[in-house]
Chain A
Amino acid sequence: MSEETMQIAVTVNGEAVARTVPVRQHLVDFLRTELGLTGSHLGCEHGVCGACSVRVDGRVVRGCLMLAVQVDGAHVVTIEGLDETGEIADLQAAFVARNALQCGFCTPGMLMTCAELLAQASPMSRAEIRTFLSGNYCRCTGFHAIVDAVETTLTQRLQR
């Protein structure tokens, strides 16, 4: 059986991309293998761990639960794009300063979710931050430092 394919045209990190993709290929495999955007990681491929989180048309989605063909015509932002626009430079600096990551495998997905939290621009308690991040698995940090980094960044942004 030959692999069934479809053509898609998608904007990834602001760049127009046209590709023919297997219809069964999920979004993160497409980003990683076709576009070389290896910052999005695969931790479970069943939508639980959050390592593959990417932004599609402004919303954070599980990149392993979406097919590449579903982003035809969409705007996709990965960690590489988020890094280059400087949107979360303060958050990234806080993560580094506070050591809110160890192995770094969860970090791109975690930052995606944190960016969504920060974009709400509303005060949050530590407990609320923890709840917001509860769909992103981190095995290394125990989460405390991540909550610290998000809290610091949120406080700084709200003071600006």
Chain B
Amino acid sequence: MSDPSRASPFAKPNSYVGRALSRAGARRAVAGRGRYTDDIALPRMLHAAFLRSPHAHARILAIDAAEARRQPGVALVMTGAELARLCTGPWVGTLTCFPGMKSAPQYPMAVDRACWVGEPVAMVIARTRAEAEDAAEHIAVEWQELPAVTEKTTALDPATPVLHPALGDNLAFAKTIDTGAVDAAFAKADLVIEETFDFGRHTAVSLEPRALLAAYDQGTGKLTIHTSSQCPHMIQHVFAATLGVPQHNVQVIAPDVGGSFGLKIHTYGDEVAATAAAIQLGRPVKFIADRLESFVSDIHARENFVKARIAVSKSGEIQAFDIDVLSGAGAYSQYPRTSVFEANQILNITGGPYRHKHFRARASVVYLNKPPTSQYRAVGHPIGNTVGEHLVDQAAYRLGIDPIEMRRRNVMPDDGYPATTASGIKLKDLSHQRCLDALVARMNYDALRREQAELRQQGIHRGIGIAAFIKGTAPGPHGYYGTGGAPISLQDACVIKLEPNGGIICAVGVTEQGQGTDTIMGQIAATTLGVPMECVRVVSGDTDATPFGGGTFGSRAAAIGGEAVYLAARDLRQEVLELAGILLQAEPGALDIVDGAIVDRASGSKRLPLSEIGRIGHYQVGELPNSVEPRLSHTRRFRLVDDLYIFTNGVHGAHVEVDTDTGFIRLLKHWVAEDCGRVINPQLADEQVRGGCVQGIGGALYEHCLYDEAGQLLNGTMADYLVPMAAEMPDIDVAHVETPTSVSQLGAKGVGESGTGAAPAVIMNAVNDALRPFGARVTSQPITPEAILIALGKI
């Protein structure tokens, strides 16, 4: 269903763009030959273990590490205060793009006060991890417990202690969007639906935990960090700046990354501490977070309480949204990306698919004595989509309008772009109407509704959920990070080189975590140049080998990095044709590159293999005129120039069955019709959507970091913190509507997060559809069996 009005630069014979090629990295992984950070061992390597705060809030009166230092194998014990003296200064996790935002200074380990259970307090470096852990048990800390702030709804009450007294209160950030005339719209609406929503805090649970191996060469002053990261250049900057090492002397290598999901775009104090130890000792230091410490030290996300209402007319026209968001952050705003993006995105995208003109949204982000929150796959979208789509569904139900029809009446029309949402964000190239058509056809929607009615007669309660979404992808430099003062590049780059044998090396700033970035960059480069895929090797994840870039986050790799590859490959192709023109005494425009050979464009007859250009360009340069200097290496960068984000859109469908006796939810099937723009590799795109959906389903049904009033995590093991497993998950049908974005030649918009952003909305709508005959509904996530039974009045 591609848009015929925009010709694709990739529509040529044997194009790799649009083909389901497999990944070279996958072939290695199935043989057990992946190379993750923990698989790397360096000579004289030592291991780090941490003593972490057992208290949510406590003053450190004294630390006695003498006994720990005497333990077998111990090379170093470092306290937070000792580490602070090695740092250039504290972090402050604020950005100027969030006016009025405040956060307290934070060092990589607690100095005189611990502010969450799990905050690193002291580090032991020893010969083995086991010895380091043994010794850490011998560190004696004298604690003075302080009152903990753990409940967001009372965090701003005058009676609640202030977590960081210098800040004056527990408010990190507040923001309001108001189009005006919202109260009037509600006053004259035919129907107002009002609801409260509670979203549980959860975390990424990448199967490979955070991992780092730092080595410092005291002779050259070079610091080499292997780390499981999505953003090597950001890590390079932050570690260099924090530890006072010149940035250009820091090499960050991300080898195979065992899952990331936004968890690994952040800076963690324990990793900085281990790196500081490597510098101090002049020996390599490895730190691998174990699962228990991952739960209390990885970033958390999603803890939001939302009050929201929608105003609609009798005919089902959405007139206004009014939402109030209370976001529970951790003890500090995460440096350097902050802890306020989630709330900010909820304001941006709630009700985003629709044409209403009136919108008011307020957000308050408050500090709590819990692990810092920050960006995690689909930042804010699970919440914004769930709130908006629940209200739209409830309104449709109250008005007797089918949920599909309700959305047809209200979505922005496909021919209505560019458009601006009531929240103020600019949208281009979306396709809600075509996605709805595609979804209805794939679901066989009418037949499902008939089956639902029949089964209800038999006491079987199935629900059909629908949820439309928009997803901000590929952030531009005008909005947040760089502009706001964070050392994070929102442009990205490609260096593409022709080697003497005709092979192509394509080095990119975006990174690979198994989603297939390297493969799709190869597809783009090979197609643009006109060479076979096997002639292209993509290099990523190494700051010494790749051009400076932002890395992979915010569904940006294909959209931003892919366009840089396209532009660079196009430049190299042009140079190759010019060199070939000189050698063949032909006009470059009369030549083409096809299947790795220079051909006559008109006849297709082969003139020269590409390897001849490589050979002459590198070795036999004397065959070229003296005035010609072969470059054979081209660097291009790409960024958004006008837009805050590219946006994608789509609609999900879900079919569930609720056991009204036990409260258990069975997922029968899930459908997605989405528009990520040009699909570079359909299989990889599908699998991003499927994996994303399941991660969203996890949040909707299972995942929850449960804290008690004292700020203790109650379920910090994988036996207690539930994640989606194979038996509970449905098959997921994925359809793509392709509307290439007009901001690039490539046309890719990004696909990694939208499934996670929309699935929680459609699951909740499906569950509530099943519960409708009982007059029951759920509005909190995760939707546990207990929550279902409470909604049904059974417990």
Contacts and interface: CB of A to CB of B under 8 A. Distances in A.
Contacts of A101: 26, 29-30, 514
Central interface residue in A103, A105, A108, A134, by most chain B CB within 10 Å:
A103
A140 B514 contact: yes
Interface stretch (A38-46, A67-75, A152-160): A38-46
Interface string B256-298: 1111110000000000000000000000000010110000000
Central interface residue in A99, A105, A134, by most chain B CB within 10 Å:
A99
Contacts of A22: 130
A58 B258 CA distance: 28
Interface in B698-712: none
Contacts of A59: none
Nearest to A42: B38
B726 A105 contact: no
Contacts of A38: 32, 35-36, 38-39
A24 B130 contact: yes
A13 B207 CA distance: 25
A146 interface: yes
A8 to B, nearest CB: 17
A34 to B, nearest CB: 11
B29 A104 contact: yes
A41 B718 contact: no
A10 B384 CA distance: 55
Contacts of B729: 130, 142-144
Contacts of B513: 102-103
Interface string B723-754: 11111110110000000000000000000000
B702 to A, nearest CB: 12
Given A105-B36, A142-B732, A92 B30 contact: yes
A131 B695 CA distance: 19
A138 B726 CA distance: 8
B203 to A, nearest CB: 11
Interface residues of A, number: 61
B694 A105 contact: no
A136 B726 contact: yes
Contact of A46 (B34, B35, B205, B717): B717
Contacts of B209: 43
A43 B29 contact: no
A65 B723 CA distance: 20
A145 B687 contact: yes
B154 interface: no
Given A83-B32, A92-B31, A103-B514, A141 B687 contact: yes
B193 to A, nearest CB: 32
A76 interface: no
B500 interface: no
A17 interface: no
Nearest to A93: B30
A60 interface: no
Contact of B30 (A2, A49, A107, A133): A107
Contacts of A140: 259, 514-515, 691
A27 interface: no
A131 B38 contact: no
A122 to B, nearest CB: 18
A44 B259 CA distance: 14
30 contacts: A33-B41, A38-B35, A38-B39, A39-B34, A41-B258, A42-B288, A43-B208, A43-B209, A43-B718, A45-B290, A46-B291, A48-B718, A48-B719, A83-B31, A92-B30, A101-B30, A102-B513, A102-B516, A103-B256, A103-B514, A105-B207, A130-B726, A131-B726, A139-B205, A139-B206, A141-B690, A142-B724, A143-B725, A145-B690, A147-B726
A118 interface: no
Interface residues of B, number: 59
A87 interface: no
Given A103-B513, A137-B723, 17 more contacts: A24-B130, A38-B39, A43-B208, A46-B719, A49-B291, A101-B26, A102-B515, A103-B208, A104-B30, A105-B206, A107-B32, A108-B32, A126-B731, A131-B727, A139-B204, A139-B259, A144-B690
Nearest to A149: B30
Contacts of A41: 36, 207-208, 258
A49 to B, nearest CB: 6
B259 A79 contact: no
Interface string B7-28: 0000000000000001101111
B258 A104 contact: yes
B33 interface: yes
Interface in B191-237: 204-209
Given A99-B683, A101-B29, A46 B690 contact: no
Contact of A39 (B33, B690, B691, B727): B33
A12 interface: no
Contacts of B34: 39, 104-105, 107
A2 B207 CA distance: 33
B240 interface: no
B717 to A, nearest CB: 6
A49 B208 CA distance: 11
B557 interface: no
A156 to B, nearest CB: 17
Nearest to A25: B130
Contacts of B723: 137, 139
A121 to B, nearest CB: 20
Contacts of A131: 726-727
B72 interface: yes
Contacts of A43: 207-209, 291, 718
A6 interface: no
